[in-house]
Amino acid sequence: MKWLASIGLSGFLLALFAAVTSIAIGWTYLSTKSQIDLEVRRAEARQLLEIFPADTHDNEMVDDTFTIDAETSLLGIRVARQGYRVRLNDEVIGVILPTTARDGYSGDIRALVGIRRDGTVAGIRVVAHRETPGLGDKVDIRKSDWITDFNQRSLDDPTPPGWNVKKDGGVFDQFTGATVTPRAVILATRRALEYANLHTASLFETGADSA
Amino acid sequence: MSSASYSQLTLNGLWKNNAALVQLLGLCPLLVVTASTVNALGLAAATLFVLVVSNTTVSVIRSVVSDTIRLPVFVMIIAAAVTVTELLMQAYSYELYQILGIFLPLITTNCIILGRADAFARKNPVPAALYDGFIMGVGFGAALLLLGAIRELLGTGALFADMQLMFGEGAQHWRWDIFNVDYPFLVAILPPGAFLVTGCLIAVKNSIDTTLERRAKVQAEAPVTGSKRVRVTGKVS
């Protein structure tokens, strides 16, 4: 029965190594968890603060969230995502809505759209995309300030037909060599504004304690 | 094999048996991540760390583990080292972690690591294995960096952009704009550019080797240490 002993020994050694490596991973996981949570939150907060800078409000937007269901029409999000409320003196002065443009050049473009109570755009940030480097990726604030063209715009400025690239009769610039990407972002923004318009009551009229 | 000298290990890791340019291992992350210097540096550092940890561990346990179960054990060690690296990077360099994305966990499948564990670390004492892991990682990292720098320069006209992702806010000004064009050489940042630049680097290395060899008139060469894998490029000795 020598072979049995040898199998037993091998099995034991394998189990031992599995246990030791699992412990190593588990220990690292536990000891980095709080730091990782902090980093994730900080990255999220940084994005929100780019849309509504710290001097415009007095609440922690990261903590003041509401959930928007997946497949909500006009927003295009594929899974349930969080929207954020922006408050000043306990009054909701704006919201940040998650939106997904499904008609990007290569896959979904996810963005956060900040909308003020009066229906104007506070700012937009593209948070995830796979558009062509050098062409479509100019929707990213790190590559180009094109996205700031939306600031202060609303559904009255321009009127809906104007919410398109210049090539299609709109007022927004397309990029040289890339029309699909900016068009997708423009239309997604317009839909987000329409969503906010339709849901003004539930988005903005929330009392201070119902968040 | 067991008495491989450190100078030989160095020469092998950095040049003669360079993981990226001669063994052509780990090409998948090599080609995708090297669109900019900072990404290349991030992946190079992570790979280096994993290589050192796995080589050292494998060498420590080399007398305990029998041949039959060595591969699953090595894989477990490597996977654990990679997961730990990933968690640490997530905790202390979150933005870089986001950029490297899937290529961080995929270090597990980088053949260099299992290759060095099996071909070198399990037959050599701890210090030599540690050094081999280190120098192989440096060789791989140097190729990554070179590739990243060339592609970033061709594709964007600048070098060392976004270094603050790794070195903090102070590194924001490291960006070095070398030339400015309206239409950058886009293909360099796209995947085909990765193949082209890698091919050129290998060609340059091979031509340097040929020149050196011709000049030295080939003296008796020391036996090649390390990998038993089939060599794809370079001189088979």
What is each CA distance from A7 to A4, A10, A14, B68, B135, in whole angstroms?
5, 5, 10, 10, 37
pLDDT at position A209 is: 44
pTM for this one?
Answer: 0.73
β strands within chain A, DSSP E:
65-68, 81-88, 91-101, 109-116, 121-128
Beta bridge partners of A109: A101
pLDDT at position A167 is: 87
Considering only CB atoms, which residues of chain A are within 8 Å of chain B? Answer: 9-10, 13-14, 17-18, 21-22, 24-25, 28-29, 32, 35-36, 39-40, 42-43, 132-135
Q: How far is B210 from chain A (nearest CA, A)?
A: 37
Location of structure tokens 């995830």:
A128
Q: What is the ipTM of this complex?
A: 0.71
- Structure tokens, B79: 């996977």
- Who has greater pLDDT, B144 or B167? B144
Domain boundaries, chain B: 6-216
What would the mean pLDDT of A87-105 be, rounded to a whole number? 90
Q: A190, A163 in Cβ contact below 8 A?
A: yes
Q: How far is B128 from chain A (nearest CA, A)?
A: 23
> Residue B226, by phi and psi: left (phi above 0), alpha (psi -120 to 50) or beta?
left
What would the mean pLDDT of B151-166 be, rounded to a whole number? 77
Question: In A, which residues are within 8 Å of B83 by CB distance?
Answer: 25, 28
pLDDT at position B51 is: 92
pLDDT band at A124 (very low <50, low <70, confident <90, very high): very high
For B23-77, how does the pLDDT look when each residue is reduced to its tens digit (9 = 90+)?
Answer: 888 787 788 788 778 888 888 989 999 999 999 999 999 888 888 888 899 999 9
Residue of chain B minimizing CA distance to A143: B156
Using CB atoms within 10 Å of the CB of residue A206, give its burial: 0 to 12 exposed, 13 to 18 middle, 19+ buried: middle
Nearest CB to B91 within list A17, A32, A132: A32
Average pLDDT, chain B: 82
